[in-house]
Amino acid sequence: MNIIRKQNIIIPNPETKNFLADAFYPEEVEKLPLVIFVHGYKGYKDWGAWNLMAEKIAKAGFFFVKFNFSHNGTTIAEPNSFADLEAFGNNNYSKELSDLGVVIDHFSQHEKVDDHKIIVIGHSRGGGISIIKTYEDERINGLITLASVDSLDRFPKNEAFEQWKREGVYYVINGRTKQEMPHYYQFYEDYEKDIHRFDVERATEMAKAHFLIIHGTHDESVSVKNAEHLHLLHPNSELYLIENADHTFGAKEPWEGNELPIYLKEVTEKCIDFIKEKMFL
């Protein structure tokens, strides 16, 4: 099967700013289900083994899209590094939901896409964003979360919160790049202003899409209890736990192999099977 790869497509969003997306899809098929991957906190579309996952899902007969959030810290010129920490500090959930909506709008109109079959896959914080968007946007009829959070209220607490409010910024060290990554207080103000909208628990209960929850039992960043909680909130969901898998399912940045790590391979195959079953393919 011949796979078309269109990378670093510029996507304009008047509400935020321009950002990049990639599309992987088989050339031969007329109309394909649209699968959109949503990266997480301190993530980006080309991190680790996401390209290998994209290839595998496209070869299974899907139109696979991944993208960089407009304010994830990458730039049009440097999509694989945190070259714009000012943008990172000014990111918030409203901007991420806006970007995801623009991606759905853009690619659902592609001539190769069946716009009645739209699936979103969200990793980590991107899982929380994907849950909310799935509740809000009835075009999405399949939702898969990978190591997802069960709440977007993941801000500093107590004295650390008061310090953030006073100083207007707090910093998180990126363990890989050693950069001090800022978070401006506007992030919390945006959340508080629309706190009902950003209620992941409520969105999970209300979402009508087919829902698969995947999590590793050795996730060091987001406890597996988050997955179990999401499953309780949405009893018609499927919970799929991977024994010993970590937060990124064995992938790391950079990923220099030509094969998916074993846990991410299992994740990808499970995603493919789930989509084929639920989309009646």
Write the pLDDT tens digit of every residue in 77-127.
999 999 999 999 999 999 999 999 999 999 999 999 999 999 999 999 999
* Average pLDDT across the chain, whole number: 98
Per-residue pLDDT, averaged over 141-165, amounts to 98
Per-residue pLDDT, averaged over 13-23, amounts to 98
* Domain range annotation of the chain: 3-155+195-278
Q: What is the predicted pLDDT for the residue at 184? A: 98
How many Cβ atoms from other residues are within 10 Å of residue 55's Cβ?
A: 17
What CA–CA distances, in Å, run from 40 to 28, 124, 193? 32, 5, 22
* Residue 32 in tokens: 């394909």
For residue 52, the SS3 value is: helix
Is the pTM for the entire model greater than 0.95?
Answer: yes
Give the model's confidence band at 219: pLDDT under 50 very low, under 70 low, under 90 confident, else very high.
very high
* CATH fourth-level superfamily of 3-155+195-278: Alpha/Beta hydrolase fold, catalytic domain (3.40.50.1820)
Residue in the structure block whose two tokens are 């990978």:
146
* Residue 114 in tokens: 């069946």
Q: What is the predicted pLDDT for the residue at 281? A: 78
Question: Under the phi-then-psi rule, with left for phi > 0, alpha for psi from -120 to 50, and beta for the rest, what region is 51?
Answer: alpha
For residue 232, the SS3 value is: helix
Q: What is the predicted pLDDT for the residue at 234? A: 96
Per-residue pLDDT, averaged over 209-220, amounts to 98
